[in-house]
Structure 1
Amino acid sequence: MTVLITGATGLVGQALVNLLLQNGYSVHYLSTSKSKLINQNNYKGFYWNPKLSEIDTNAFDGVDVIIHLAGASVAKKWTNNYKEEIIESRVLSTRLLYQTLHKKANTVKQIISASAIGIYPDDLNYIYHETDNKVDDSFLGNVVEQWEKEVNQFEKLQILVAKVRIGIVLSDEGGALQEMAKPIKLGLGAAFGSGEQYQSWIHIYDLVSIFQFIMNNKLAGIYNGVAPYPVTNAELTKAIAKVLKKPLFLPNIPKFVMKLILGEMHQILFSSQHVSCRKLLDAKFQFKYASLDKALNDLL
Protein backbone atom coordinates (compact mmCIF):
# COMPACT_ATOMS: atom_id res chain seq x y z
CA MET A 1 0.00 0.00 0.00
CA THR A 2 1.34 3.43 -0.94
CA VAL A 3 0.76 6.50 1.21
CA LEU A 4 1.47 10.09 0.14
CA ILE A 5 2.45 12.36 3.05
CA THR A 6 2.70 16.14 3.09
CA GLY A 7 4.68 17.72 5.91
CA ALA A 8 6.74 14.52 6.10
CA THR A 9 9.88 16.27 7.35
CA GLY A 10 8.13 17.94 10.31
CA LEU A 11 7.97 16.62 13.88
CA VAL A 12 4.86 14.48 13.40
CA GLY A 13 5.70 13.68 9.76
CA GLN A 14 9.07 12.12 10.56
CA ALA A 15 7.57 9.92 13.30
CA LEU A 16 4.76 8.86 10.96
CA VAL A 17 7.14 8.02 8.11
CA ASN A 18 9.20 5.82 10.48
CA LEU A 19 6.10 3.98 11.71
CA LEU A 20 4.75 3.33 8.20
CA LEU A 21 8.11 2.18 6.78
CA GLN A 22 8.54 -0.20 9.74
CA ASN A 23 5.10 -1.63 8.99
CA GLY A 24 5.82 -2.30 5.32
CA TYR A 25 4.09 0.64 3.61
CA SER A 26 5.55 2.51 0.65
CA VAL A 27 5.78 6.23 1.33
CA HIS A 28 5.71 9.08 -1.18
CA TYR A 29 6.14 12.57 0.24
CA LEU A 30 5.85 16.12 -1.02
CA SER A 31 8.45 18.70 -0.03
CA THR A 32 8.96 22.37 -0.85
CA SER A 33 12.71 21.84 -0.51
CA LYS A 34 14.44 20.15 -3.45
CA SER A 35 17.41 19.29 -1.23
CA LYS A 36 15.13 17.08 0.92
CA LEU A 37 14.04 14.83 -1.95
CA ILE A 38 15.20 11.24 -1.54
CA ASN A 39 14.52 8.45 -4.01
CA GLN A 40 14.64 5.00 -2.45
CA ASN A 41 12.70 1.86 -3.16
CA ASN A 42 9.86 2.45 -0.69
CA TYR A 43 10.51 6.11 0.20
CA LYS A 44 10.29 8.71 -2.57
CA GLY A 45 10.21 12.50 -2.44
CA PHE A 46 8.49 14.81 -4.91
CA TYR A 47 8.67 18.60 -5.23
CA TRP A 48 5.77 20.97 -4.77
CA ASN A 49 5.27 24.68 -4.15
CA PRO A 50 1.67 25.41 -3.07
CA LYS A 51 2.21 29.19 -3.23
CA LEU A 52 3.00 28.92 -6.95
CA SER A 53 0.56 26.02 -7.52
CA GLU A 54 3.46 23.79 -8.62
CA ILE A 55 3.36 20.05 -7.99
CA ASP A 56 5.06 16.95 -9.41
CA THR A 57 2.01 14.85 -10.29
CA ASN A 58 4.13 11.67 -10.30
CA ALA A 59 3.76 11.85 -6.51
CA PHE A 60 0.23 10.42 -6.87
CA ASP A 61 1.22 7.33 -8.88
CA GLY A 62 -0.22 4.22 -7.21
CA VAL A 63 -1.19 6.17 -4.06
CA ASP A 64 -4.10 4.79 -2.00
CA VAL A 65 -4.14 7.27 0.90
CA ILE A 66 -2.99 10.87 1.41
CA ILE A 67 -1.98 11.96 4.91
CA HIS A 68 -1.91 15.75 4.91
CA LEU A 69 0.21 17.30 7.68
CA ALA A 70 1.65 20.36 5.91
CA GLY A 71 1.28 23.74 7.60
CA ALA A 72 3.50 26.49 9.02
CA SER A 73 4.17 26.16 12.76
CA VAL A 74 1.88 28.16 15.06
CA ALA A 75 4.65 28.27 17.68
CA LYS A 76 6.33 31.33 16.21
CA LYS A 77 5.49 34.97 16.83
CA TRP A 78 2.28 35.92 15.02
CA THR A 79 3.17 39.00 13.00
CA ASN A 80 0.52 39.93 10.42
CA ASN A 81 2.69 38.44 7.66
CA TYR A 82 3.25 35.24 9.60
CA LYS A 83 -0.47 34.89 10.40
CA GLU A 84 -1.09 35.01 6.66
CA GLU A 85 1.50 32.28 6.18
CA ILE A 86 -0.14 30.08 8.85
CA ILE A 87 -3.46 30.24 6.98
CA GLU A 88 -2.07 30.07 3.44
CA SER A 89 0.25 27.14 4.15
CA ARG A 90 -2.80 25.07 5.13
CA VAL A 91 -5.44 26.36 2.72
CA LEU A 92 -3.31 26.62 -0.43
CA SER A 93 -1.62 23.24 0.06
CA THR A 94 -4.99 21.51 0.58
CA ARG A 95 -6.46 23.28 -2.43
CA LEU A 96 -3.54 22.27 -4.65
CA LEU A 97 -3.96 18.61 -3.69
CA TYR A 98 -7.68 18.79 -4.44
CA GLN A 99 -7.25 20.55 -7.80
CA THR A 100 -4.58 18.07 -8.87
CA LEU A 101 -6.74 15.04 -8.03
CA HIS A 102 -9.72 16.71 -9.68
CA LYS A 103 -7.79 16.93 -12.97
CA LYS A 104 -5.68 13.76 -12.83
CA ALA A 105 -6.81 10.14 -12.97
CA ASN A 106 -5.75 8.60 -9.65
CA THR A 107 -6.19 5.71 -7.22
CA VAL A 108 -6.65 7.76 -4.02
CA LYS A 109 -9.43 6.39 -1.80
CA GLN A 110 -8.90 8.33 1.42
CA ILE A 111 -7.40 11.56 2.75
CA ILE A 112 -6.55 11.97 6.44
CA SER A 113 -5.77 15.55 7.35
CA ALA A 114 -4.24 17.04 10.44
CA SER A 115 -6.40 19.60 12.20
CA ALA A 116 -6.27 21.13 15.68
CA ILE A 117 -8.26 21.28 18.90
CA GLY A 118 -7.76 25.07 18.68
CA ILE A 119 -11.12 25.09 16.86
CA TYR A 120 -12.90 24.51 20.20
CA PRO A 121 -13.78 27.61 22.27
CA ASP A 122 -11.78 28.38 25.40
CA ASP A 123 -13.72 26.91 28.37
CA LEU A 124 -12.60 25.77 31.82
CA ASN A 125 -15.57 23.45 32.46
CA TYR A 126 -16.93 22.06 29.19
CA ILE A 127 -15.71 18.74 27.76
CA TYR A 128 -15.51 18.83 23.95
CA HIS A 129 -16.51 15.99 21.62
CA GLU A 130 -16.24 15.76 17.83
CA THR A 131 -19.94 16.61 17.50
CA ASP A 132 -19.45 20.08 19.04
CA ASN A 133 -19.60 22.57 16.21
CA LYS A 134 -19.00 25.88 17.95
CA VAL A 135 -15.82 27.54 16.66
CA ASP A 136 -13.57 29.62 18.89
CA ASP A 137 -13.64 33.26 17.80
CA SER A 138 -9.84 33.49 17.88
CA PHE A 139 -7.26 33.52 15.10
CA LEU A 140 -6.60 29.78 15.63
CA GLY A 141 -10.32 28.96 15.56
CA ASN A 142 -10.57 30.74 12.22
CA VAL A 143 -7.46 28.96 10.84
CA VAL A 144 -8.80 25.50 11.70
CA GLU A 145 -12.27 26.27 10.35
CA GLN A 146 -10.87 27.38 6.96
CA TRP A 147 -8.49 24.39 6.87
CA GLU A 148 -11.21 21.82 7.54
CA LYS A 149 -13.51 23.42 4.96
CA GLU A 150 -10.85 22.93 2.29
CA VAL A 151 -10.31 19.30 3.33
CA ASN A 152 -14.07 18.59 3.06
CA GLN A 153 -13.87 19.37 -0.69
CA PHE A 154 -12.36 15.91 -1.29
CA GLU A 155 -15.77 14.34 -0.57
CA LYS A 156 -16.85 15.69 -4.00
CA LEU A 157 -14.29 13.30 -5.54
CA GLN A 158 -15.78 10.29 -3.69
CA ILE A 159 -12.71 10.19 -1.44
CA LEU A 160 -13.11 9.27 2.24
CA VAL A 161 -12.26 12.29 4.40
CA ALA A 162 -10.94 12.01 7.96
CA LYS A 163 -9.65 14.86 10.13
CA VAL A 164 -7.54 14.45 13.27
CA ARG A 165 -7.88 17.39 15.66
CA ILE A 166 -4.50 17.30 17.37
CA GLY A 167 -3.81 18.45 20.94
CA ILE A 168 -0.44 19.35 22.48
CA VAL A 169 2.05 16.86 21.01
CA LEU A 170 4.58 15.53 23.52
CA SER A 171 7.83 14.42 21.88
CA ASP A 172 11.51 14.09 22.78
CA GLU A 173 12.50 15.49 19.37
CA GLY A 174 11.17 19.03 19.87
CA GLY A 175 7.83 20.78 20.17
CA ALA A 176 5.88 21.93 23.24
CA LEU A 177 7.28 19.50 25.82
CA GLN A 178 10.91 20.44 25.19
CA GLU A 179 10.02 24.14 25.44
CA MET A 180 8.16 23.58 28.71
CA ALA A 181 11.00 21.49 30.12
CA LYS A 182 13.72 24.13 29.45
CA PRO A 183 12.82 26.60 32.25
CA ILE A 184 11.95 23.72 34.62
CA LYS A 185 15.42 22.19 34.12
CA LEU A 186 16.88 25.56 35.16
CA GLY A 187 14.69 25.65 38.27
CA LEU A 188 12.60 28.45 36.72
CA GLY A 189 9.42 26.52 35.92
CA ALA A 190 5.97 27.92 36.71
CA ALA A 191 2.37 27.47 35.61
CA PHE A 192 0.72 30.06 33.33
CA GLY A 193 -2.01 32.35 34.65
CA SER A 194 -4.37 30.53 37.02
CA GLY A 195 -2.88 27.20 35.88
CA GLU A 196 -6.46 25.90 35.77
CA GLN A 197 -6.71 25.87 31.95
CA TYR A 198 -7.05 22.36 30.55
CA GLN A 199 -4.39 21.09 28.18
CA SER A 200 -5.33 18.10 26.08
CA TRP A 201 -2.07 16.38 25.22
CA ILE A 202 -0.91 13.30 23.29
CA HIS A 203 2.32 11.28 23.06
CA ILE A 204 3.71 11.47 19.53
CA TYR A 205 3.77 7.65 19.19
CA ASP A 206 0.03 7.47 19.92
CA LEU A 207 -0.67 10.33 17.52
CA VAL A 208 1.03 8.69 14.52
CA SER A 209 -0.61 5.39 15.49
CA ILE A 210 -4.00 7.14 15.26
CA PHE A 211 -3.27 8.15 11.65
CA GLN A 212 -2.33 4.55 10.84
CA PHE A 213 -5.43 3.23 12.67
CA ILE A 214 -7.79 5.55 10.74
CA MET A 215 -6.14 4.46 7.50
CA ASN A 216 -6.23 0.73 8.25
CA ASN A 217 -9.88 0.88 9.33
CA LYS A 218 -10.95 3.17 6.47
CA LEU A 219 -12.59 5.61 8.88
CA ALA A 220 -14.09 8.96 7.94
CA GLY A 221 -15.12 12.02 9.94
CA ILE A 222 -13.51 13.98 12.77
CA TYR A 223 -11.39 12.36 15.49
CA ASN A 224 -9.85 14.14 18.46
CA GLY A 225 -6.14 13.26 18.54
CA VAL A 226 -5.71 13.54 22.31
CA ALA A 227 -4.94 11.15 25.17
CA PRO A 228 -7.79 10.00 27.46
CA TYR A 229 -6.76 12.07 30.50
CA PRO A 230 -6.30 15.81 29.86
CA VAL A 231 -4.66 17.78 32.67
CA THR A 232 -4.55 21.39 33.79
CA ASN A 233 -1.53 23.53 32.99
CA ALA A 234 -0.53 23.44 36.67
CA GLU A 235 -0.73 19.61 36.72
CA LEU A 236 1.31 19.35 33.52
CA THR A 237 3.99 21.70 34.88
CA LYS A 238 4.17 19.76 38.17
CA ALA A 239 4.34 16.41 36.38
CA ILE A 240 7.26 17.55 34.17
CA ALA A 241 9.10 18.92 37.24
CA LYS A 242 8.54 15.64 39.11
CA VAL A 243 9.99 13.53 36.28
CA LEU A 244 12.95 15.91 35.96
CA LYS A 245 13.34 15.95 39.79
CA LYS A 246 13.28 19.77 39.84
CA PRO A 247 11.59 22.07 42.36
CA LEU A 248 8.74 24.43 41.48
CA PHE A 249 8.75 27.43 43.77
CA LEU A 250 8.10 30.43 41.50
CA PRO A 251 4.66 32.10 41.41
CA ASN A 252 2.47 31.50 38.37
CA ILE A 253 3.38 33.63 35.33
CA PRO A 254 0.76 36.37 34.77
CA LYS A 255 -1.00 36.56 31.44
CA PHE A 256 0.11 40.15 30.73
CA VAL A 257 3.79 39.12 30.97
CA MET A 258 3.42 36.42 28.31
CA LYS A 259 1.36 38.78 26.18
CA LEU A 260 4.27 41.26 26.25
CA ILE A 261 6.75 38.52 25.28
CA LEU A 262 4.72 36.53 22.75
CA GLY A 263 2.07 38.95 21.53
CA GLU A 264 -1.18 37.36 20.29
CA MET A 265 0.41 33.90 20.32
CA HIS A 266 0.19 33.89 24.16
CA GLN A 267 -3.41 32.63 23.68
CA ILE A 268 -2.06 29.12 23.06
CA LEU A 269 -0.75 28.96 26.65
CA PHE A 270 -3.84 30.33 28.38
CA SER A 271 -6.67 28.82 26.35
CA SER A 272 -8.50 25.88 27.97
CA GLN A 273 -9.74 22.93 25.89
CA HIS A 274 -10.79 19.80 27.75
CA VAL A 275 -11.16 17.41 24.82
CA SER A 276 -12.53 13.85 24.80
CA CYS A 277 -11.12 10.95 22.73
CA ARG A 278 -14.15 8.71 23.45
CA LYS A 279 -14.83 8.31 19.70
CA LEU A 280 -11.39 6.75 19.15
CA LEU A 281 -11.79 4.47 22.18
CA ASP A 282 -15.21 3.37 20.92
CA ALA A 283 -13.56 2.50 17.57
CA LYS A 284 -11.22 0.24 19.62
CA PHE A 285 -8.06 2.33 19.31
CA GLN A 286 -5.60 1.41 22.07
CA PHE A 287 -3.35 4.06 23.56
CA LYS A 288 0.16 3.03 24.53
CA TYR A 289 0.62 6.19 26.63
CA ALA A 290 -2.79 6.95 28.12
CA SER A 291 -1.42 8.43 31.34
CA LEU A 292 0.71 11.55 31.52
CA ASP A 293 3.23 9.98 33.93
CA LYS A 294 3.88 7.10 31.53
CA ALA A 295 4.27 9.50 28.58
CA LEU A 296 6.66 11.82 30.43
CA ASN A 297 8.77 8.98 31.81
CA ASP A 298 9.18 7.68 28.27
CA LEU A 299 10.08 11.09 26.78
CA LEU A 300 12.09 12.78 29.52
Structure 2
Amino acid sequence: MIKKVLITGATGLIGTELVRQCHREGISVNYLTTSKEKIENSENYKGFYWNPKKGKIDVSAFDGVTAVINLAGATISKRWTKKYKKVILDSRIAPINLLRDTLQNIDHTIVHFISASGISIYPNSETKLYSEEDEEVDDTFLGEVVLAWEAAAAQFKNMGMEVSKVRTGVVLAKDDGAFPQLVKPVKFGVGAPLGNGEQWLSWIHLEDIAGIYLFLLKNQLEGKYNAVAPNPVQNKKMTKMIASKLENPLWLPNIPAFAIKLFLGEMSVLVLEGQLVSSKKIEQLGYPFKYYNLDNALQDLL
Protein backbone atom coordinates (compact mmCIF):
# COMPACT_ATOMS: atom_id res chain seq x y z
CA MET A 1 0.00 0.00 0.00
CA ILE A 2 1.40 3.40 -1.04
CA LYS A 3 1.67 5.68 2.00
CA LYS A 4 3.74 8.58 0.66
CA VAL A 5 4.39 9.96 -2.83
CA LEU A 6 6.65 12.73 -4.13
CA ILE A 7 5.03 15.01 -6.73
CA THR A 8 6.74 17.59 -8.96
CA GLY A 9 4.36 20.23 -10.34
CA ALA A 10 2.04 19.64 -7.36
CA THR A 11 0.86 23.27 -7.27
CA GLY A 12 -0.19 23.28 -10.96
CA LEU A 13 -3.62 22.50 -12.42
CA ILE A 14 -3.39 18.68 -12.42
CA GLY A 15 -1.10 18.57 -9.38
CA THR A 16 -3.53 20.44 -7.12
CA GLU A 17 -6.38 18.03 -7.97
CA LEU A 18 -4.07 15.01 -7.61
CA VAL A 19 -2.94 16.14 -4.14
CA ARG A 20 -6.62 16.46 -3.14
CA GLN A 21 -7.34 12.91 -4.35
CA CYS A 22 -4.20 11.47 -2.69
CA HIS A 23 -5.21 13.00 0.63
CA ARG A 24 -8.72 11.60 0.26
CA GLU A 25 -7.13 8.13 -0.07
CA GLY A 26 -4.88 8.66 2.97
CA ILE A 27 -1.69 9.08 0.89
CA SER A 28 0.76 11.72 2.18
CA VAL A 29 2.38 14.04 -0.37
CA ASN A 30 5.88 15.49 -0.46
CA TYR A 31 6.30 18.01 -3.26
CA LEU A 32 9.16 19.82 -4.95
CA THR A 33 8.80 23.51 -5.76
CA THR A 34 11.04 26.13 -7.36
CA SER A 35 9.39 28.81 -5.21
CA LYS A 36 10.43 29.01 -1.55
CA GLU A 37 7.19 30.95 -0.89
CA LYS A 38 5.17 27.86 -1.87
CA ILE A 39 6.77 25.60 0.75
CA GLU A 40 4.20 24.30 3.23
CA ASN A 41 4.75 21.87 6.06
CA SER A 42 1.79 19.98 7.44
CA GLU A 43 1.51 16.36 8.49
CA ASN A 44 0.46 15.01 5.07
CA TYR A 45 1.69 17.80 2.75
CA LYS A 46 5.35 18.85 2.84
CA GLY A 47 7.18 21.13 0.41
CA PHE A 48 10.88 20.98 -0.52
CA TYR A 49 12.91 23.40 -2.62
CA TRP A 50 14.58 22.48 -5.89
CA ASN A 51 16.03 24.31 -8.88
CA PRO A 52 16.47 21.98 -11.88
CA LYS A 53 18.23 24.72 -13.89
CA LYS A 54 20.97 24.94 -11.25
CA GLY A 55 20.92 21.25 -10.33
CA LYS A 56 19.79 21.97 -6.75
CA ILE A 57 17.44 19.72 -4.78
CA ASP A 58 16.60 19.10 -1.13
CA VAL A 59 17.17 15.32 -0.82
CA SER A 60 15.03 15.06 2.31
CA ALA A 61 12.08 15.25 -0.13
CA PHE A 62 12.65 11.52 -0.81
CA ASP A 63 12.36 10.40 2.84
CA GLY A 64 9.79 7.63 3.20
CA VAL A 65 8.62 8.02 -0.41
CA THR A 66 7.90 4.92 -2.53
CA ALA A 67 6.78 6.59 -5.79
CA VAL A 68 7.44 9.77 -7.76
CA ILE A 69 4.84 11.49 -9.95
CA ASN A 70 6.50 13.95 -12.31
CA LEU A 71 4.22 16.73 -13.63
CA ALA A 72 6.91 19.39 -14.16
CA GLY A 73 6.85 21.34 -17.44
CA ALA A 74 6.23 24.85 -18.74
CA THR A 75 2.92 25.60 -20.48
CA ILE A 76 2.77 25.04 -24.25
CA SER A 77 0.06 27.71 -24.59
CA LYS A 78 2.46 30.61 -24.99
CA ARG A 79 3.90 31.86 -28.29
CA TRP A 80 6.58 29.49 -29.55
CA THR A 81 9.55 31.76 -30.16
CA LYS A 82 12.87 29.97 -30.62
CA LYS A 83 13.73 30.91 -27.03
CA TYR A 84 10.42 29.69 -25.60
CA LYS A 85 10.60 26.38 -27.47
CA LYS A 86 13.84 25.74 -25.59
CA VAL A 87 12.02 26.55 -22.32
CA ILE A 88 9.26 24.02 -23.17
CA LEU A 89 11.79 21.26 -23.82
CA ASP A 90 14.23 22.07 -20.99
CA SER A 91 11.44 22.41 -18.41
CA ARG A 92 10.48 18.79 -19.09
CA ILE A 93 13.92 17.17 -19.42
CA ALA A 94 16.04 18.99 -16.77
CA PRO A 95 13.77 18.06 -13.82
CA ILE A 96 13.75 14.37 -14.82
CA ASN A 97 17.53 14.31 -15.22
CA LEU A 98 18.00 15.97 -11.83
CA LEU A 99 15.73 13.37 -10.18
CA ARG A 100 17.67 10.57 -11.92
CA ASP A 101 21.10 11.92 -10.94
CA THR A 102 20.00 12.48 -7.33
CA LEU A 103 18.45 9.03 -6.91
CA GLN A 104 21.58 7.38 -8.33
CA ASN A 105 23.57 8.95 -5.49
CA ILE A 106 21.37 8.42 -2.41
CA ASP A 107 19.71 5.54 -0.58
CA HIS A 108 16.00 5.62 -1.33
CA THR A 109 12.85 3.49 -1.26
CA ILE A 110 11.35 4.51 -4.64
CA VAL A 111 9.98 1.66 -6.76
CA HIS A 112 7.68 3.51 -9.20
CA PHE A 113 8.26 6.54 -11.45
CA ILE A 114 5.16 8.02 -13.14
CA SER A 115 5.67 10.82 -15.65
CA ALA A 116 3.40 13.14 -17.57
CA SER A 117 3.53 12.86 -21.35
CA GLY A 118 1.25 13.97 -24.18
CA ILE A 119 -0.97 12.58 -26.94
CA SER A 120 0.75 15.09 -29.26
CA ILE A 121 3.30 12.30 -29.88
CA TYR A 122 0.70 10.86 -32.33
CA PRO A 123 0.52 12.32 -35.85
CA ASN A 124 -2.40 14.62 -36.72
CA SER A 125 -5.21 12.56 -38.27
CA GLU A 126 -8.97 12.88 -38.80
CA THR A 127 -9.48 9.15 -39.38
CA LYS A 128 -6.96 7.00 -37.50
CA LEU A 129 -7.71 5.88 -33.93
CA TYR A 130 -4.46 5.78 -31.97
CA SER A 131 -3.70 3.28 -29.22
CA GLU A 132 -0.59 2.90 -27.06
CA GLU A 133 0.70 0.27 -29.51
CA ASP A 134 1.11 2.84 -32.30
CA GLU A 135 4.76 3.71 -32.89
CA GLU A 136 4.42 6.64 -35.34
CA VAL A 137 5.63 10.00 -34.02
CA ASP A 138 4.29 13.34 -35.23
CA ASP A 139 6.88 15.39 -37.12
CA THR A 140 5.97 18.64 -35.31
CA PHE A 141 7.85 20.33 -32.49
CA LEU A 142 5.46 18.79 -29.93
CA GLY A 143 6.10 15.30 -31.31
CA GLU A 144 9.83 15.86 -30.70
CA VAL A 145 9.17 17.16 -27.18
CA VAL A 146 7.08 14.16 -26.14
CA LEU A 147 9.60 11.72 -27.62
CA ALA A 148 12.43 13.31 -25.59
CA TRP A 149 10.20 13.51 -22.49
CA GLU A 150 9.36 9.80 -22.62
CA ALA A 151 12.98 8.82 -23.33
CA ALA A 152 14.08 10.78 -20.24
CA ALA A 153 11.45 9.00 -18.10
CA ALA A 154 12.47 5.58 -19.46
CA GLN A 155 15.90 5.96 -17.78
CA PHE A 156 14.37 5.02 -14.41
CA LYS A 157 13.72 1.52 -15.76
CA ASN A 158 17.50 0.94 -15.70
CA MET A 159 17.44 1.86 -12.00
CA GLY A 160 15.08 -1.01 -11.21
CA MET A 161 11.88 1.01 -11.04
CA GLU A 162 8.53 0.53 -12.71
CA VAL A 163 7.97 3.39 -15.19
CA SER A 164 4.58 4.74 -16.32
CA LYS A 165 4.02 7.41 -18.99
CA VAL A 166 0.70 9.23 -18.96
CA ARG A 167 -0.12 10.54 -22.45
CA THR A 168 -2.45 13.36 -21.54
CA GLY A 169 -5.21 14.71 -23.76
CA VAL A 170 -6.75 18.19 -23.59
CA VAL A 171 -7.55 18.69 -19.90
CA LEU A 172 -10.91 20.36 -19.24
CA ALA A 173 -11.09 22.35 -16.00
CA LYS A 174 -13.45 25.12 -14.96
CA ASP A 175 -11.03 28.00 -14.38
CA ASP A 176 -7.71 27.08 -15.93
CA GLY A 177 -6.08 25.47 -18.95
CA ALA A 178 -7.68 25.18 -22.40
CA PHE A 179 -11.36 25.10 -21.43
CA PRO A 180 -11.92 28.77 -20.43
CA GLN A 181 -10.26 29.75 -23.74
CA LEU A 182 -12.73 27.55 -25.65
CA VAL A 183 -15.69 28.99 -23.75
CA LYS A 184 -14.80 32.70 -23.84
CA PRO A 185 -15.60 33.47 -27.51
CA VAL A 186 -18.87 31.50 -27.31
CA LYS A 187 -19.86 33.43 -24.15
CA PHE A 188 -19.28 36.72 -25.96
CA GLY A 189 -21.31 35.59 -28.96
CA VAL A 190 -18.34 35.25 -31.31
CA GLY A 191 -17.77 31.50 -31.09
CA ALA A 192 -17.06 29.55 -34.28
CA PRO A 193 -15.41 26.28 -35.28
CA LEU A 194 -11.69 26.62 -36.01
CA GLY A 195 -10.31 25.78 -39.46
CA ASN A 196 -12.48 23.07 -41.03
CA GLY A 197 -13.73 22.06 -37.55
CA GLU A 198 -13.05 18.39 -38.31
CA GLN A 199 -9.97 18.11 -36.08
CA TRP A 200 -10.38 15.74 -33.14
CA LEU A 201 -10.24 16.85 -29.56
CA SER A 202 -9.30 13.94 -27.30
CA TRP A 203 -10.29 15.58 -24.03
CA ILE A 204 -10.29 14.52 -20.38
CA HIS A 205 -11.92 16.08 -17.30
CA LEU A 206 -9.51 17.33 -14.61
CA GLU A 207 -10.90 14.89 -12.03
CA ASP A 208 -10.28 11.94 -14.36
CA ILE A 209 -6.70 12.85 -15.32
CA ALA A 210 -5.82 13.10 -11.60
CA GLY A 211 -7.83 9.90 -11.05
CA ILE A 212 -5.74 8.04 -13.64
CA TYR A 213 -2.48 9.05 -11.94
CA LEU A 214 -3.89 7.80 -8.64
CA PHE A 215 -5.10 4.56 -10.26
CA LEU A 216 -1.64 3.84 -11.76
CA LEU A 217 -0.03 4.69 -8.42
CA LYS A 218 -2.27 2.48 -6.29
CA ASN A 219 -2.12 -0.48 -8.69
CA GLN A 220 1.58 0.01 -9.49
CA LEU A 221 0.90 -0.22 -13.23
CA GLU A 222 3.76 0.43 -15.64
CA GLY A 223 3.84 1.23 -19.35
CA LYS A 224 2.27 3.86 -21.62
CA TYR A 225 -1.30 5.00 -21.03
CA ASN A 226 -3.54 7.29 -23.04
CA ALA A 227 -5.22 9.59 -20.53
CA VAL A 228 -8.24 10.67 -22.56
CA ALA A 229 -11.99 10.24 -22.03
CA PRO A 230 -13.68 7.41 -23.97
CA ASN A 231 -15.59 9.78 -26.30
CA PRO A 232 -13.41 12.30 -28.19
CA VAL A 233 -15.25 14.94 -30.22
CA GLN A 234 -14.43 17.10 -33.22
CA ASN A 235 -13.80 20.81 -32.76
CA LYS A 236 -17.08 21.83 -34.45
CA LYS A 237 -19.11 19.49 -32.21
CA MET A 238 -17.48 20.76 -29.02
CA THR A 239 -18.09 24.38 -30.08
CA LYS A 240 -21.76 23.58 -30.80
CA MET A 241 -22.21 21.75 -27.49
CA ILE A 242 -20.70 24.64 -25.50
CA ALA A 243 -22.94 27.11 -27.39
CA SER A 244 -26.00 24.98 -26.70
CA LYS A 245 -25.22 24.69 -22.96
CA LEU A 246 -24.67 28.48 -22.75
CA GLU A 247 -27.72 29.09 -24.96
CA ASN A 248 -25.63 31.34 -27.18
CA PRO A 249 -26.26 30.68 -30.87
CA LEU A 250 -23.30 30.29 -33.24
CA TRP A 251 -23.73 32.62 -36.19
CA LEU A 252 -20.19 33.24 -37.44
CA PRO A 253 -18.66 31.12 -40.20
CA ASN A 254 -15.67 28.88 -39.39
CA ILE A 255 -12.51 30.87 -38.63
CA PRO A 256 -10.21 30.09 -41.58
CA ALA A 257 -6.98 28.18 -40.88
CA PHE A 258 -4.80 30.82 -42.58
CA ALA A 259 -6.06 33.51 -40.14
CA ILE A 260 -5.30 31.31 -37.15
CA LYS A 261 -1.81 30.52 -38.53
CA LEU A 262 -1.20 34.22 -39.03
CA PHE A 263 -2.18 34.96 -35.45
CA LEU A 264 -0.63 31.97 -33.63
CA GLY A 265 2.27 31.04 -35.88
CA GLU A 266 3.68 27.55 -35.38
CA MET A 267 1.60 26.94 -32.26
CA SER A 268 -1.57 27.00 -34.42
CA VAL A 269 -1.15 23.18 -34.51
CA LEU A 270 -2.61 23.21 -30.98
CA VAL A 271 -6.03 24.19 -32.33
CA LEU A 272 -5.92 23.22 -36.02
CA GLU A 273 -4.62 19.69 -35.61
CA GLY A 274 -5.76 16.86 -33.41
CA GLN A 275 -5.60 13.16 -32.73
CA LEU A 276 -8.35 10.61 -32.25
CA VAL A 277 -7.04 8.67 -29.25
CA SER A 278 -8.31 5.48 -27.61
CA SER A 279 -8.80 5.06 -23.84
CA LYS A 280 -9.44 1.29 -24.11
CA LYS A 281 -6.26 0.19 -22.31
CA ILE A 282 -6.91 2.09 -19.08
CA GLU A 283 -10.62 1.18 -19.19
CA GLN A 284 -9.86 -2.53 -19.58
CA LEU A 285 -7.57 -2.35 -16.54
CA GLY A 286 -10.57 -1.11 -14.57
CA TYR A 287 -10.28 2.67 -14.37
CA PRO A 288 -13.86 3.96 -13.88
CA PHE A 289 -14.26 7.25 -15.78
CA LYS A 290 -16.37 9.77 -13.88
CA TYR A 291 -16.82 11.92 -17.01
CA TYR A 292 -17.36 9.46 -19.84
CA ASN A 293 -18.77 11.81 -22.44
CA LEU A 294 -18.59 15.52 -23.16
CA ASP A 295 -22.19 16.21 -22.22
CA ASN A 296 -21.75 15.30 -18.54
CA ALA A 297 -18.31 17.01 -18.44
CA LEU A 298 -19.85 20.26 -19.75
CA GLN A 299 -22.72 19.87 -17.29
CA ASP A 300 -20.14 19.94 -14.49
CA LEU A 301 -17.90 22.67 -15.93
CA LEU A 302 -20.45 25.21 -17.13
- Fold similarity call, TM over 0.5: yes
Q: Distance in 1 between matches of 2:76 and 2:156?
A: 25
Amino acid of the residue matched to residue 258 of structure 1? I
Which position in structure 1 is the counterpart of 2:275?
273
Which position in structure 1 is the counterpart of 2:114?
112
Q: Distance in 2 between matches of 1:21 and 1:200?
A: 28
| C-alpha contact (below 8 Å) 1:197/1:272 kept by paired residues | yes
CA RMSD of aligned residues (A): 0.7
Amino acid of the residue matched to residue 63 of structure 1? V
Pairing partner for 1:177 from 171, 176, 179: 179
Amino acid of the residue matched to residue 24 of structure 2? Q
Structure 1: gaps (5+ residues): none
CA-to-aligned-CA distance 1:28-59 (integer Å, 9 cap, x gap)? 00001111010111100001111111101110
SS of equivalent to 1:52: coil
| C-alpha contact (below 8 Å) 1:119/1:136 kept by paired residues | yes
Q: Distance in 1 between matches of 2:200 and 2:116?
A: 21
Tell me how many residue pairs correspond in the alignment: 300
Q: Distance in 2 between matches of 1:272 and 1:30?
A: 32
Q: Distance in 2 between matches of 1:110 and 1:78?
A: 33
Which position in structure 2 is the counterpart of 1:255?
257
Q: Distance in 1 between matches of 2:163 and 2:149?
A: 13
TM-score w.r.t. length of structure 1: 0.99
Which position in structure 2 is the counterpart of 1:236?
238
Cα deviation for residue 18 of structure 1 reads 1.0
| C-alpha contact (below 8 Å) 1:171/1:177 kept by paired residues | yes
Which position in structure 2 is the counterpart of 1:70?
72
Which position in structure 2 is the counterpart of 1:129?
131
| C-alpha contact (below 8 Å) 1:196/1:232 kept by paired residues | yes
SS of equivalent to 1:51: coil
Which position in structure 2 is the counterpart of 1:31?
33
Sequence identity percentage = 50
Amino acid of the residue matched to residue 83 of structure 1? K
SS of equivalent to 2:295: helix
| C-alpha contact (below 8 Å) 1:197/1:270 kept by paired residues | yes
Q: Distance in 2 between matches of 1:246 and 1:174?
A: 22
SS of equivalent to 2:166: strand
Structure 2: gaps (5+ residues): none
Q: Distance in 1 between matches of 2:28 and 2:267?
A: 37
SS of equivalent to 1:184: helix
Q: Distance in 1 between matches of 2:69 and 2:243?
A: 35
TM-score w.r.t. length of structure 2: 0.98
Which position in structure 1 is the counterpart of 2:168?
166
Matched, 1:53 2:55: yes
